[in-house]
Amino acid sequence: MIGVVVPAHDEEALIGRCIAALAVAARHPGLLGEAIEIVVVLDACSDATRAVAESLGATCIDVQARNVGIARAAGASALIARGARWLAFTDADSAVAPDWLACQLESRADAVCGVVCVDDWGDFGADARARYAARYVDADGHRHIHGASLGVSAAAYLRAGGFPPLRSSEDVELVRRLRGQGATIRWTNSVRVSTSARRVARAPDGFAAHLRRVEQRALPP
């Protein structure tokens, strides 16, 4: 079984798109009919995220942490207990490509780091977009680490000790741990996710914070 973990804090507006894209990826013929289970980890949610997620077939579990590292780890633990051999991670404001899961498994690696693209820049200006594009490597061999586009075998995940309880950069720390364990990691742009450029961050130093820093560097003095 392949498990997918989606941490969510009050994501009723976006979780439906996320799960719909995962459902398409779960039907990819390259998966040869293997079972896929999607777990949404409701982290201190007070809105209708659960209702939307469950209506689309996802399993929901609850944590009260406001901590993405804890949320991802809780989802991973639940899926490993249910027999998952591979764990894939994305975010509630993201939509995976139809071959997102299939490409991860085709890598034959212990872990896969994919890429993200912004599908709606909102009110970010052209200078900020250009600066982001100039610095982002959308190619095989990149060294980006995104919790929104990450996969790892359950065995390698356990050897590395799983996600640390960090509010940001939990994905970076997991990959560091994997490398320390000698895991084989594939850095590829064939594993793709579209994500939002929202300004209201869920993680204090996550992707939204990165985009704000890019914007500030792009603004004239």
Per-residue pLDDT tens over the stretch 65-103: 999 999 999 999 999 999 999 999 999 999 999 999 999
Q: d(Cα 154, Cα 162) in Å, to the nearest integer?
A: 9
Tokens, residue 191: 């594993």
Angstrom distances, CA of residue 199 to CA of 19, 45, 202, 215 = 22, 19, 10, 11
| Residue 103, pLDDT score | 98
What pLDDT is attached to residue 109?
98
Question: In the predicted model, what is the mean pLDDT of the chain?
Answer: 94
User: What does the pLDDT look like over 113-165, one tens digit per residue?
Assistant: 999 999 888 888 888 889 888 899 999 999 999 999 999 999 999 999 999 99
Where do the domains of the chain lie?
2-121+134-196
Q: Encode pLDDT of 196-205 as tens digits.
A: 888 777 777 6
Quick check: 51 and 132 in contact, CB under 8 A? no
Residues comprising the chain, all counted: 221
Which helix (H) or strand (E) segment holds residue 89: the answer is strand 86-89
Read off the pLDDT band of 221 (50, 70, 90). Answer: very low
Is 3.40.50.10790 the CATH classification of the domain at 2-121+134-196? no
Secondary structure E strands in 100-147: 111-120
| Rounded Cα–Cα distance for residues 35 and 47 (Å) | 29
